[in-house]
Homo-oligomer: A and B are copies of this chain.
């Protein structure tokens, strides 16, 4: 089995873009290829596209060959799109990893993309709920904000977590995204800003929630043994973990204990053959502020129930116990569903290369994880990257 390396990547600016789905693909593709001058589209034998809901947002299915055409790639080995809601991009990364590891592919592009802003945003929001089970959660109006609000309520009740502590996650991530030119929200926020922002689903307010976002990003993967042909600073995939329990909220067993995340963490560390303390940088799936607090606990950076305290003590800032979301997270950068995992990968690569601004640079980071959850936290997926 071959070891796999990412030799370059590129992304679009994220936000409410005056750009079509096609424009986003081309912009991310251009930036990706420009980052690896010695690979041209004709060298690429495989393409993996992560996209969650182009069928609903842009009336476009069968997106994989479309992306191939827009990038000038003619895949002669593997071509497919993966969909796993908010973790669609990571499913694509894993598929590419497996194909290179087996020898099925030698040069692969993974591209994630989502165009979420529609002319009619009522339609956009109703499309978004398409990822919930139609016969259970959809019909009960259980969209993502009320689900994570229930989670937050329960976490507050069980562990005394406060709204202020949740707000601090948003403050940290906006602090980092203010230094990220690709971020949707490039402005610092204060605890007061968060607590005064409009209520979405109590206790979650606007600044507790990640945004609707347009964006795309891509990486180029090769067998590790070939990486020196293309770059002196490859990023290796050294482990991966994923787990799933059910699909609807009532499968979760507990709102405040994400069992599949615990399983995915164990598997990721096991396959990477490392312990938690070796991780220098973590891109966590902070779709809501409460999510990141739960993730501190599930990874084991703090005890169960102490996630609020953990951010209060600034343990998830650079220099703390774990540098969490130095990119700015989903809260600061936005969450273009299928693109998010690729945006994380590209930023980690830039961290390893020392290409990010000083204020959000995790100096000397050797190992990083990228985490995504999808659905109602029923699926968790983790990649472990190293220099």
Q: State the Cβ distance, A371 to closest chain B Cβ, in Å.
A: 15
Q: State the Cβ distance, A262 to closest chain B Cβ, in Å.
A: 11
**Contact digits for A163-204, partner B, Cβ 8 Å, 1 yes 0 no:** 000000000000000000000000000000000000000000
Known: A69-B248, A83-B83, A263-B76. A131 touches B98 (CB 8 A): no
- A67-86 residues with Cβ-Cβ distance < 8 A to B are 68-69, 74-85
Residue on B nearest A94 in the bound complex, by CB: B78
Q: Does the CB pair A83–B84 fall under 8 Å?
A: no
Bound form: Cα–Cα A130–B63 in Å: 10
Known: A85-B61, A98-B99, A98-B104. A76 touches B267 (CB 8 A): yes
Known: A61-B55, A80-B83, A85-B61. A244 touches B1 (CB 8 A): no
Q: Does the CB pair B58–A55 fall under 8 Å?
A: no
The SS class assigned to the A binding surface is mixed
Does A18 count as interface, using CB distance less than 8 angstroms?
Answer: no
Q: State the Cβ distance, A104 to closest chain B Cβ, in Å.
A: 6
From A76, A101, A243, residue with most partner B Cβ within 10 Å: A76
Q: Does the CB pair A81–B79 fall under 8 Å?
A: no
Q: Does the CB pair B62–A242 fall under 8 Å?
A: no
Does A41 count as interface, using CB distance less than 8 angstroms?
Answer: no
From A58, A94, A248, residue with most partner B Cβ within 10 Å: A94
Known: A55-B61, A98-B104. A80 touches B75 (CB 8 A): no
Q: State the Cβ distance, A200 to closest chain B Cβ, in Å.
A: 21
Known: A62-B131, A102-B102. A243 touches B81 (CB 8 A): no
Chain B residues near A378: list those with CB within 8 A: 65
Chain B residues near A95: list those with CB within 8 A: 80, 82, 95, 98
Known: A64-B84, A84-B62, A102-B102. A79 touches B131 (CB 8 A): no
Bound form: Cα–Cα A98–B267 in Å: 19
- A282-305 residues with Cβ-Cβ distance < 8 A to B are none
Q: Does the CB pair A247–B98 fall under 8 Å?
A: no
Known: A61-B56, A79-B379, A379-B79. A66 touches B98 (CB 8 A): no
Does A225 count as interface, using CB distance less than 8 angstroms?
Answer: no
Known: A61-B55, A245-B74, A246-B65. A98 touches B102 (CB 8 A): yes
Given contacts A20-B135, A79-B379, 8 further A-B contacts (CB under 8 A): A52-B61, A53-B55, A65-B375, A69-B246, A75-B244, A76-B244, A78-B242, A82-B83
